Amino acid sequence: MFQFIIRRTVGALVTLFLIGAATFFLFVAAPSDYASLACGKDCSPARLEDIRQALGLNLPIHQQFWDFMSGIVMGRDYPTGHCSAPCLGQSFYSGDMVWSTIMDRFPTTLTLTAGGAVVFVIVGVGAGMIAAYRRGTLIDKVATGVSMVLSSFQIYVLGPIVLLIFVYSTGWMDNPAYHPITEDPWTWFTGMLLPVLVMATIFTAQYTRMARSSMIEQLAEEHVRTARAKGMSNKYVFFRYAWRGSMIPIVTVLGIDISAMLGGAVVTEITFSLQGIGRLAVDGAVHKDLPLTMGVMLFGAFFILIVNILTDIAYAYIDPRVRLS
């Protein structure tokens, strides 16, 4: 286990470096640069050169890359002050330090992810399992039907409808916004409730369908039949034997979804005008803001790698045939 974590961590660091390099060089290879964009229409060569110098774009590309990557580990010095590790550089567009911008925005994204995950694991997987347990009954048909309809919705369709009903027409709720949980848990809860629920609704429906089909598949397994042949009760067989195997595909998808959401739930954030990581990623791309794009990219990749490791540990926990070595 310990060895596994060490090995995977080293692997993750190498992967992060490669992702950083790929992002950086792809960005530089793009046929437009930030300096000429910032310089505007009446751009004199001298002014352009000043901007390039100020942003460090005059340096050779490998030098720029090295400065950026080493800054993450050791920190960097800027004319405006020291940027301590992990330093993701200074945004071209806003001039803010990328790391602190990300840290400002992260609680919003984390709330969305955690809230969403709680809802769709409990409600989604739960409903799917109930549907599988009561297969063929009215409960199953309702759960299957509702999840079918909901999973074909999109956040940007459902979101505005919900906003119209709960905010604009009735005024029951305020416009969604993030308030730090440390200041007032209640406003934090109410502020994020609608975005979390709308996002979770769509995911929940997918998890319901997946849990149901995965469960039904497991119930048809021969070892499940053996357990019944031993005289174990239906409930016991369902929760001890079939459940275990059905968790594997669910954990897989859950890992992918959570890590993707931690890297920014772009559609949800934009639909509800929330300032999260996803919004930052879009800003970075729109403004050709290299440090911001790099920062968001590496931040997202970091979570994907971490969650991957956790998923593998979960596999080994669920299925004793999986070994972590």
42 conformational bin, left if phi > 0, alpha if psi -120 to 50, beta if neither: beta
For residue 6, give every residue at least 6 positions away whose Cβ sits within 8 Å of its Cβ, in sequence order, or none. Answer: none
Q: CB of residue 148 vs other proteins: minimum separation in angstroms?
A: 21
Q: Which is nearer to other proteins, 267 or 316 (CB)?
A: 316
**What residues does 77 pair with on adjacent strands?**
82
Q: 171-210: which residues touch other proteins (CB under 8 A)?
A: none
Provide the sign of the torsion angle of the four alpha carbons 225, 230, 231, 233, taken in this order.
negative
C-alpha–C-alpha distance, residues 102 and 294, integer Å: 11
Q: Does 59 bind other proteins (CB under 8 A)?
A: no
Residue 102, CA distances (Å) to 93, 107, 258 in order = 15, 9, 18
Applying CB under 8 A, among 29, 169, 320, 325 the residue interacting with other proteins is 320
* Closest residue by Cα to residue 177 from 119, 265, 113, 108: 108
Q: Does 319 bind other proteins (CB under 8 A)?
A: yes
Q: Does 28 bind other proteins (CB under 8 A)?
A: no
Q: 236-275: which residues touch other proteins (CB under 8 A)?
A: 240-241, 244-245
Applying CB under 8 A, among 6, 225, 273, 286 the residue interacting with other proteins is 225
Q: Does 318 bind other proteins (CB under 8 A)?
A: yes
Amino acid of residue 153 = F
Applying CB under 8 A, among 223, 273, 285, 286 the residue interacting with other proteins is 223
Applying CB under 8 A, among 35, 163, 227, 274 the residue interacting with other proteins is 227
User: 60 is written with which tokens?
Assistant: 């050779």
Q: What is the DSSP letter of 86?
A: S
C-alpha–C-alpha distance, residues 169 and 183, integer Å: 29
Q: Does 325 bind other proteins (CB under 8 A)?
A: no
Contact of 199 with 155, CB cutoff 8 Å: yes
Applying CB under 8 A, among 29, 46, 321, 325 the residue interacting with other proteins is 321
Applying CB under 8 A, among 12, 110, 135, 253 the residue interacting with other proteins is 135
Applying CB under 8 A, among 232, 253, 270, 313 the residue interacting with other proteins is 232
Name the site residues for other proteins (rule: CB under 8 A).
Answer: 135-136, 221-234, 240-241, 244-245, 318-321
